[in-house]
């Protein structure tokens, strides 16, 4: 599924949180169940393709769901990723297509692939965790766009765990108390002219406790 390109000014570090949530980043194995729906009997090459395909789906969903924050550039970056890594993603598509034909045959296989893709996209959709997902997807998208051609899989291996974990709702941390902040409830001196003597000094009876 492709998204039409939109011209949006670049923003390298747009933030939706005051404090970045901890989505437990770290590398992931292509056959880790966290990657996506199970693909029984897959080879290592097929697992690698599925990892790449699932990250692509996540970034595509982010491009659709995160347009409320244009500064994240989820649409523009996603379209640029499709162009930059077109060969690698086309190869992944062919490998996955071959897997489903292998397990379902030439007739049933394509339908199984379509079902897998539909459910994969649905599994990325979120409302409760939208802010965390959008911010993380934007970061992953920037990393994918910065990766040289042929190295998109490396980004998926490094960032998929974090991207999946961003679907867990997280709240922002409150700003810490600053004891040196100026208090806005400070009392102003009286403005009544009768409270001041001839030298513009405040009279004792007008001093507020």
Give pLDDT, residue 19.
63
Other CB atoms closer than 10 Å to residue 91's CB: what's the count?
17
Task: State how far the Cα of 23 lies from the Cα of 134, in Å rounded to an integer.
Answer: 13
Q: What angle do CA 159, 130, 114 make, to 5 degrees?
A: 70
Residue with tokens 């009286």: 190
Task: State how far the Cα of 141 lies from the Cα of 131, in Å rounded to an integer.
Answer: 15
Give pLDDT, residue 11.
39
Full pLDDT tens readout for the chain, 209 residues: 444 433 333 334 456 555 666 667 789 999 999 999 999 999 999 999 999 999 999 999 999 999 988 988 999 999 999 999 999 999 999 999 999 999 999 999 999 999 999 999 999 988 888 888 998 999 999 999 999 999 999 999 999 999 999 888 765 444 555 554 555 555 666 777 777 777 777 777 777 66
Domain ranges (residues) in the chain: 33-165
Residue 127 DSSP class: S
Helix axes 130-146, 152-165, angle to 10 degrees: 170
Which sign does the torsion angle of CA 160, 169, 62, 18 carry? negative
Give pLDDT, residue 2.
43
Give pLDDT, residue 12.
41
Give pLDDT, residue 209.
62
Q: Output 2-10 pairs: Cβ under 8 A, ≥24 positions apart.
A: 2/79, 2/82, 3/60, 3/63, 3/64, 3/75, 3/78, 3/79, 4/79, 5/75, 5/76, 5/79, 6/75, 6/76, 6/79, 7/76, 8/70, 8/73, 8/75, 8/76, 10/73
b/e code 163-183 from CB counts within 10 Å (16+ = b):
bbbbbeebeeeeeeeeeeeee
63 closest CA partner among 82, 43, 40, 91:
82
Q: Which residues contact 10 (CB under 8 A, 6 or more apart)?
A: 73
């Amino acid at each position: 599924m492709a998204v039409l390109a939109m011209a949006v000014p670049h923003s390298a570090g747009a933030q939706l949180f005051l404090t970045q949530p901890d989505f437990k980043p770290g590398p992931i194995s292509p056959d880790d169940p966290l990657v996506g729906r199970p693909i029984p009997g897959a080879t290592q090459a097929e697992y690698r393709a599925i990892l790449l395909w699932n990250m692509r789906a996540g970034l595509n969903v982010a491009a659709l769901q995160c347009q409320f924050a244009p500064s994240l550039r989820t649409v523009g970056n996603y379209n640029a990723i499709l162009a930059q890594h077109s060969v690698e993603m086309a190869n992944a598509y062919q490998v996955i297509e071959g897997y489903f034909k292998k397990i379902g045959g030439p007739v049933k296989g394509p339908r199984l692939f379509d079902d897998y893709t539909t459910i994969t996209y649905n599994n990325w959709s979120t409302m409760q965790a939208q802010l965390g997902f959008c911010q993380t997807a934007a970061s992953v998208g920037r990393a994918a766009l910065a990766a040289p051609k042929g190295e998109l899989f490396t980004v998926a291996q490094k960032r998929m765990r974090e991207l999946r974990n961003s679907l867990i709702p997280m709240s922002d941390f409150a700003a810490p108390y600053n004891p040196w902040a100026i208090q806005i409830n400070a009392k102003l001196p009286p403005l009544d002219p009768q409270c001041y003597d001839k030298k513009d000094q405040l009279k004792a009876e007008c001093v507020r406790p």
